[in-house]
Amino acid sequence: MDKVVASPADAVADIPDGASIAISGFGLSSGVPNSLLAAAAEQGAKDLCLVANGVGGAAAKLIENNQVSKLIVSFTARPNIESAAAEKAAAGHLTYEMVPQGTLVERLRAGGAGLGGIFTPTGVSTPIANDKEVRFFDGKAFIFEPAIKVDYAFVCAYRADRLGNCEFRGSAQHFNPSFAKGARIAIVEVDEIVEPGAIDPHRVGLPGSFVARVVKRTIQPDRSALARFRRAPDSARTYNGKSAWTRHQMAEKAASLLPEPGYVNLGLGIPTLVANYLKGRDILLHGENGILGYGPPAAEDQVDWYVHDAGGNYVTERPGVAYFDSVTAFEMVRSGKIDVVVLGAYQVDEAGNVANWSTPEQVGGGIGGAMDMVAGGATVMILMEHRDSRDRAKLVRSCTYPLTGAGCVSIVVTDLAVLRRRDGRFVIEDVAPGFTEEEVAALTEMDVSRAPV
């Protein structure tokens, strides 16, 4: 039962027009099946439906070639990054469905498990729930999401044997198992092909029964995108002619508010900087790509290409670190095993609602794992600048952008202040040096209170 094929071109040769393909990959370069994507672009099948976290990088070539008519994704666009998907969707050349990451992996897992779908709390009271069946279990609302089955899956592994048994490494497992299970034909792109028996049976992360074809990687990943996200600027914005907290100072302030012991998830952007300020703390960091217990960003000479957080930062391993797939990562979130979630946002309003995945200027947007994170009952801390790049309030009376979650925000840390929601309203607990509570309130659209003395 030898499942090895000679080349990526041979592996994708039978893909017909109209096929559906699940494409693994977390971020722009982690675990992206670049060799298979390049071969598919050359093969030329059209009217494809792509199911993926995002379709940047190598996947964008299929869209640019007008080979794609539909997307089922967590990201169509990212801030300040050009997107072929958004451009084609805006022009009416393809349709898209936005799906939260945790829901996406569960829908593929359900398809592979022979189930009809799942009921999930993720997305309740947001646009994702529109026109979907809602049921209540133990008094809590859940929406029905149908299983996803695809014709093909392009996934990646560290190693595979000729029987199709796959071994993953570090936090690069993420979507691969669930995407492979949901496919009629799963094609695995690997760094190394070995003989049966060479992989310790305890390290098989995807059994060969789920795998149809194995092919050696021919195009190495472009890892420059991951490195880029580590270089966050540390300059301070000014308000009323005075400097506010820098991004690193905001992260340090947020870190000081985290409870111990605790499991904490850090979202994209400024929240990833919090990892720099947890030394000596009894806090374990969680990433939805499948990592628990990682440390601060890795120095250049410490980088392991397979070990990164959900924001794309290469990170260090702490003693006791654990790796798993994204299905398990989101199980931790939805089951209440994560204590605090730190997210960036576009808007937070008086009711504790948060919007962080789309703006009116975007086609689609980037849901990522945020909807899953706020649906799991964790304390939600928002870490963002006080006003946006156009000097508009981000702490508003009512969110005007599509909601990520309703009534879920407990703490907000901005570059001007720390606010905590108490008795139905936000209270100013701390302000940046040189500013007063009155100044913060004047720069805030929502009504806020002062902390009691």
Catalytic residues: 288
Yes or no: say if 121 and 159 are a contact pair by the CB < 8 Å rule: no
The dihedral built from the CA positions of residue 394, 398, 400 and 404, taken in this order, carries a sign that is positive
244, 249, 250, 256 alpha-carbon torsion, rounded to 10°: -140
Alpha helices for 6-83 (secondary structure H): 8-12, 34-43, 60-64
> Which residues fall within 8 angstroms of residue 422, CB to CB, at 6 or more apart?
none
Cα radius of gyration (the chain): 22
Sequence length of the chain is 453
In sequence order, the 6+-apart residues with CB closer than 8 A to the CB of 17 are 45, 46, 47, 48
Largest interatomic CA distance in the chain: 74
| Cα–Cα distance measured from residue 172 to residue 226, given in angstroms and rounded to the nearest whole number | 13
Per-position b or e across 426-449, b if 16+ CB within 10 A of its CB: bebbbbbeebebebbbebbbbebe
Query: DSSP label at 21?
Result: E
- Work out the number of other CB atoms within 10 angstroms of the CB of residue 259: 12
Q: Which two tokens stand for residue 17?
A: 């027009």
Q: Identify which of 430, 422, 426 has the alpha carbon closest to the alpha carbon of residue 445.
A: 426
**CB neighbours of residue 248 within 10 Å:** 17
C-beta of residue 209 within 8 angstroms of C-beta of residue 3: no
Assign 3-class secondary structure to 96-147: EEECCHHHHHHHHHHHHCCCCEEEECCCCCCHHHCCCCEEEECCEEEEEEEC
